Amino acid sequence: MEIKVLGSGCANCKRLLANVEQAVKETGIEAKVIYVTDYMEIVKSGVIHTPGVIIDGKIASTGRVLTVGEVKLLLNK
């Protein structure tokens, strides 16, 4: 599984990254977590509002900081 966290590097983006990493750790799912801060790459991904999460190439969330529990629900889909 590949999970991309997209954001500008702001506090909310970093908090979302930490929540994603914690959810991956707690679920035991094998996943590569990538933090994308390059503006052009974010635009190409289709995410309009950051922070965003893309799981295996599909946009899972945009514009909000997901809790660890919310990320776990996305990972188990």
pLDDT in tens, 15-63: 999 999 999 999 999 999 999 999 999 999 999 999 999 999 999 999 9
What are the b/e assignments for 34-73, b being 16+ CB within 10 Å? Answer: ebbeeeeebeebebeebbbbbbeeeebbbeebbebebbbe
For residue 47, how many C-alpha atoms fall within 13 Å in the half-sphere facing its CB?
Answer: 28
Provide CATH code, domain 2-75: 3.40.30.10
Which is nearest to 21 in space by CA: 39, 9, 37, 5? 5
Ranges of each domain in the chain = 2-75
Catalytic residue among 3, 5, 13, 60: 13
pLDDT in tens, 8-23: 999 999 999 999 999 9
Active site residue 56: no
Catalytic residue among 1, 8, 10, 43: 10
Active site residue 34: no
Band the pLDDT of 77: cuts 50, 70, 90: confident
